[in-house]
Structure 1
Amino acid sequence: MSQPSQRPEFPVHLLSSPAMIEACRERDFARIFTLARRAGMHNSLIARLCDMTASRVGEVISGTRQLRDMAVIERVSDGLRIPGHMLGLARRDWESASADPTAPTVDIAPAASGLVPTLPGADLDSILAVAAGPKLSPSTVRALHSSIEDYWRRDDEHGGEVLRPAVVGQLRYVVDLIKETGEGEYRRNLYGVAAELARLTGWTYFDARQYSQARTYFTEALHLAKAVDDRPFMANVLACMSLQATYEERPADAVALSTAAQDCARRQGATPRVMSMLSMREAFAHASMSNRSAAHSALAEAHTCFERISDQDPDPAWVSYFDETKLIVDTGIARGRLGEAEAAEPLVEEALRREPRGNHRGRAFHSFWLARIQLQRGNLDQACDTAASSLELASVVESERVSGHLREFHQQLAPFRKEPAAVAFETQLRATLR
């Protein structure tokens, strides 16, 4: 009986070569594929391993096509067994501790209780100065919650990628605190903090379009919230996963996740604000399927729930972002997804007028949607001008999600490429998103 052939991989000496290290650092896939060919891999083999076509590999090598989508970059890393850190990714699932001696490593001991999950690999082993050991008190928990609020604020201003090592470091710190804390209210509170940090980490990966890593951390957040039966927060994580499913063009999964989120939240009597946010996620999911009636039904439910909000509601801190401005802009985006540009445009414009200037990523994202809606209405010059404003905001925030949307807008300009407004936008795009 013949032995199965060994999976072809880059030779170790090639992975450690200066040429490969530089090519990976710059994400120069033309050079990466060329080096792979010199190592004995032909185009069809590279294509098969990376779930691409041989012709696309050839286009990348010739320079006529570039790889920017994070899902494709992850497939190249996984297919060619290039360690994640070489391409600016997190440690891949297939990497072992001995796979690359230069790669960052993490060793988190399992919890004695068996409830604390083993966390995915982080890029830095130590972020916080915790040499003195854990000293748990009410002020500790308050400080941890305050730091999470600060992380979200900075995520809005700068994007999450630069914050991720610190967030993961704090997550590891909290997990260590849980291991050393007995049963009781402190332990429950720490589980809540850890769940929020895991969701934030997942969000930073989602915003960078690194979807497999995002799912890993969202799953960890679910496990942590489940350990203390925090169903509203579990619903919040499911809503994040629903939104990601729309980006991965899995609309049926997006609908299922959004409805599961609502069911989960109802079982613990979630507040109207939480239910409004979750209904909006369902509206997005239906809109991505172009299911007009279901989307409008979910939008109506979101607005009905929002009208029931009271100042006395015990809203969790993580849903405070879902205010009237967010309700308005999300309604506009959902209707824009449905092709209802005339109704959508004034909603997104109104939200942008209200939105804080410091929320760079949010304003860039919403400006993109306004530009797309204006283009739907045939207002080319106005759409390009709005997209240029989005591009200016995108240049100061690390968000591959926003950058990807702006590249999509550029593709939508294909029928108008010779028009002055489209030419000007393309020039600015190339200068800004290199």
Structure 2
Amino acid sequence: MRENVRLVTRMQARDMSQTELAEQINDAVEQLTGRRGDASDRTVRRYVSGETRWPQSRQRVALEAVFGCTAEELGFTPRAKRAQGGAIVASDAQHPQEEPVHRRTFIAATTGTALAGMALPTVGTADVRRLRGELDALWLLDDQEGGGPALEGRALTLSEQAMSLQRNGSATQRVRGRLYGLAAAFTATAMWAAVDSRRLDRAQRHMESAITLAGLSGDGQVQHQTWRYAAMLADQRGRPADALAAAEAAMSTGAHRRDALYASLSHARLALSLPGTGDHRRALRALDRAADAFSRADGFESRPASMGFFTRGELSGLTGITYLRLRQPDQAECYMHRCLTALRPDQHRNRAYYMAHMALAQLEQGDLEQACTTAAAAVPPRGSVGTGRTPHLLQVFTTGLNMRAAGSAVANEWNERARTI
């Protein structure tokens, strides 16, 4: 008795468990005969082990319908023919419980409209891997260049591709869950691109779709990503209560519970939302928990590329922003220095963003000349594709500077430069 390698290979290609195959066999029998089949995971286990070399006709034809190929191509071998009354017949004929007329009708149905209606394109792990590669490429592009219309448009196109496979293909439950997760991640990436370029109404529409898809996926990592982007969107829109609710939703996901790095990011986002609600003590506690969780995170654990940005430097930057919102600009500047020291040289977008926050911290401390020097370093190079958040911060800086030192030489010099931003 040898394992049916052909059947196992086709099941693996679809990421199909034995229970799932049994359910699809029963579905096929019901569609073809009007009565549901009785295959179980034990039935499939006998197929896989080689114990059953030639399934009975209903299940054999159902298997052919599920995989779109013959039973022989699935690794099954017809029973040996033997002589009987001078004639050569297949030993299949020794099973009188299969009514000949019903059997012929059943087999004929597989070549008619019933089987044709089932012949959907197969969607398997190869499709999931391809889309996952596209998602990783989008996250790398965001990390290097930031969000914008191009990133948003590409993400939405890929989300529609994932949903088209979901709607029009034959797939196992696990593959369908992964397709929902990919569609959610692509849509969340489009939401983030719109947030990063300050097109907040578009981001809001993407968020509503992403939350629905993430819920359907059952993927805790995708749900965490979607809720933290939702918290950032609410923050950008000046809605601290919504930002707090989204940050707390991220903390309810499986990713937060299972992975200390996700937990660290959850606590950091929670800390960012709390100053706006007036709960300063809870914000400080959240910062402590973020630091503690980060120290416990396994740096060698495999995670989606969307978490690649969250380094010790990024945590320092988020901590610095929180202290700035808590009206502790000296602490904020300290953490911004730590952040900028730890960022990779290629993280130009993040460097400009945190540089602008450090300029605001220096401005709050009254160090106007140093603040203007720092702000100048955050100005995107002429002709570059900058994101919307940093120019917005520089506008806030300009307003704050003129409130403090309107008409001064340092303010006039900065205003001249700000006109070109």
Shorter-chain TM-score bucket reads: 0.5 to 0.7
Which whole-Å deviations, capped at 9, do the CAs of 1:215-254 have from their partners, x for residues lacking one? 2212212211211212342232122112221222211222
Which whole-Å deviations, capped at 9, do the CAs of 1:179-216 have from their partners, x for residues lacking one? 12334233222222111100000111112222222122
1:197 to 166, 179, 186: 186
C-alpha separation in 2, matches of 1:271 and 1:392: 36
The aligned residue for residue 427 of structure 1 is 416
Tell me whether 1:165 sits opposite 2:153 in the alignment: yes
Residue 290 of structure 1 and its aligned partner are, at CA, apart by 4.2
Q: Which runs of 5+ in 1 are unaligned?
A: 1-132
Tell me whether 1:362 sits opposite 2:374 in the alignment: no
The aligned residue for residue 147 of structure 1 is 134
Which whole-Å deviations, capped at 9, do the CAs of 1:286-318 have from their partners, x for residues lacking one? 123343201101111111111211245454443
C-alpha separation in 1, matches of 2:225 and 2:304: 11
The farther-off stretch of 349-358 and 381-390 is: 349-358
Give secondary structure in 2 for the equivalent of 1:310.
coil
2:205 to 213, 216, 222: 216
Runs of 4+ in 1 over 6 A off after TM superposition: none
Tell me whether 1:271 sits opposite 2:269 in the alignment: no
**TM-score by structure 2 length?**
0.66
C-alpha separation in 2, matches of 1:283 and 1:180: 43
Give secondary structure in 2 for the equivalent of 1:431.
coil
C-alpha separation in 2, matches of 1:231 and 1:167: 20
C-alpha separation in 2, matches of 1:350 and 1:247: 24
Are the aligned partners of 2:156 and 2:190 in contact in 1 as well (CA < 8 Å)? yes
C-alpha separation in 2, matches of 1:257 and 1:138: 32
Which whole-Å deviations, capped at 9, do the CAs of 1:115-150 have from their partners, x for residues lacking one? xxxxxxxxxxxxxxxxxx988554443332222222
Residue 394 of structure 1 and its aligned partner are, at CA, apart by 8.4
Which whole-Å deviations, capped at 9, do the CAs of 1:13-52 have from their partners, x for residues lacking one? xxxxxxxxxxxxxxxxxxxxxxxxxxxxxxxxxxxxxxxx
The farther-off stretch of 340-349 and 386-395 is: 386-395
C-alpha separation in 2, matches of 1:418 and 1:134: 70
Give, as a single letter, the amino acid of the residue that structure 2 aligns with 1:271.
D
Give secondary structure in 2 for the equivalent of 1:156.
helix
The aligned residue for residue 319 of structure 1 is 307
C-alpha separation in 2, matches of 1:377 and 1:401: 23
Relative to structure 1, is the Cα distance of residues 164 and 259 closer, same or farther in structure 2, using a 3 angstrom cutoff?
closer
Q: CA RMSD in A?
A: 2.3
The aligned residue for residue 295 of structure 2 is 307
1:256 to 237, 240, 245: 245
Which whole-Å deviations, capped at 9, do the CAs of 1:143-184 have from their partners, x for residues lacking one? 322222222222233332232222222222221111123342
The aligned residue for residue 233 of structure 1 is 222
Are the aligned partners of 1:181 and 1:187 in contact in 2 as well (CA < 8 Å)? no
The aligned residue for residue 346 of structure 1 is 334
The farther-off stretch of 273-282 and 237-246 is: 237-246
Give 1 or 2: higher helix fraction.
2
Give, as a single letter, the amino acid of the residue that structure 1 aligns with 2:329.
A
Residue 270 of structure 1 and its aligned partner are, at CA, apart by 3.0
Are the aligned partners of 1:157 and 1:397 in contact in 2 as well (CA < 8 Å)? no
The aligned residue for residue 162 of structure 2 is 174
Give, as a single letter, the amino acid of the residue that structure 2 aligns with 1:340.
Q
**TM-score by structure 1 length?**
0.64
The aligned residue for residue 56 of structure 1 is none
Relative to structure 1, is the Cα distance of residues 427 and 234 closer, same or farther in structure 2, using a 3 angstrom cutoff?
same
C-alpha separation in 2, matches of 1:363 and 1:137: 40
1:386 to 366, 370, 374: 374
The aligned residue for residue 336 of structure 1 is 324
Which whole-Å deviations, capped at 9, do the CAs of 1:76-110 have from their partners, x for residues lacking one? xxxxxxxxxxxxxxxxxxxxxxxxxxxxxxxxxxx
Residue 255 of structure 1 and its aligned partner are, at CA, apart by 1.4
Q: Which runs of 5+ in 2 are unaligned?
A: 1-119
The farther-off stretch of 402-411 and 166-175 is: 166-175
Are the aligned partners of 2:349 and 2:387 in contact in 1 as well (CA < 8 Å)? yes
Are the aligned partners of 1:258 and 1:281 in contact in 2 as well (CA < 8 Å)? yes
C-alpha separation in 2, matches of 1:282 and 1:336: 15
C-alpha separation in 1, matches of 2:324 and 2:127: 44
Give, as a single letter, the amino acid of the residue that structure 2 aligns with 1:319.
M
C-alpha separation in 2, matches of 1:146 and 1:360: 23
C-alpha separation in 2, matches of 1:202 and 1:392: 23
Identity %: 26
C-alpha separation in 2, matches of 1:134 and 1:342: 61
Structure with the greater alpha carbon radius of gyration: 2
C-alpha separation in 1, matches of 2:313 and 2:290: 13
C-alpha separation in 1, matches of 2:410 and 2:343: 26
C-alpha separation in 2, matches of 1:316 and 1:160: 18
Give secondary structure in 1 for the equivalent of 2:297.
coil
Which runs of structure 2 are paired with 1:289-300 in the superposition (5 Å)? 289-300=277-288
The aligned residue for residue 246 of structure 1 is 235
Give secondary structure in 1 for the equivalent of 2:252.
helix
C-alpha separation in 2, matches of 1:328 and 1:223: 32
1:284 to 268, 272, 281: 272
Give secondary structure in 2 for the equivalent of 1:357.
coil
The aligned residue for residue 388 of structure 2 is 400
C-alpha separation in 2, matches of 1:208 and 1:295: 27
Number of residues of Structure 1 aligned to a counterpart in Structure 2 = 299
C-alpha separation in 1, matches of 2:213 and 2:382: 33
Residue 393 of structure 1 and its aligned partner are, at CA, apart by 5.0
C-alpha separation in 1, matches of 2:143 and 2:408: 34
